[in-house]
Amino acid sequence: MMDSVRYGAQNAYAECQYQFNKRRWNCTLIDPTTLELISDVMLRDGTRESAFVHAVSAAGVAYRVTRDCARGLNERCGCDQSMLNIDPQVRTYDYQGCSDNVQYGIAISREFVDAAERGKNATQRAILNLHNNRAGRQVGI
């Protein structure tokens, strides 16, 4: 599962760099001149960029976990079985295959991505970041 979370975060970072590649800040995490971590400063402020990073991170993790579960790459999850329980009289097609277990991907994203914002006495920043995480999961999946 940790590989899926890690790859989801890496995919989110790559998407962030792609989306901001022509901007002054291109989702760079380290200042090349000082080798200092600069994302902390960027993400600490309530900027549009910060909102995007939170949303795309939550979406990236949810997407990758969902995809890896459907492909059988995680031992702790698998296909969504709900389609198999639909009455054959009601179905308009013969279902075969593996549905994406989206709810599981969202749950894992919540567990990992939202962890940093929980338990902070519900500061305005934490509430905003949780909102952006939630928005990313809704759009990304």
Parse the chain into domains and list their residue ranges: 2-140
- Residue 117: what pLDDT? 86
- 78 contact partners, CB below 8 Å, separation of at least 6: 69, 72, 98, 101
- The one-digit pLDDT tens for each residue of the chain (141 residues) are 889 999 999 999 889 889 989 988 788 776 666 666 665 656 667 788 889 989 999 999 999 999 999 888 888 887 666 655 566 666 565 556 677 889 999 999 999 999 988 876 778 888 899 999 999 999 866
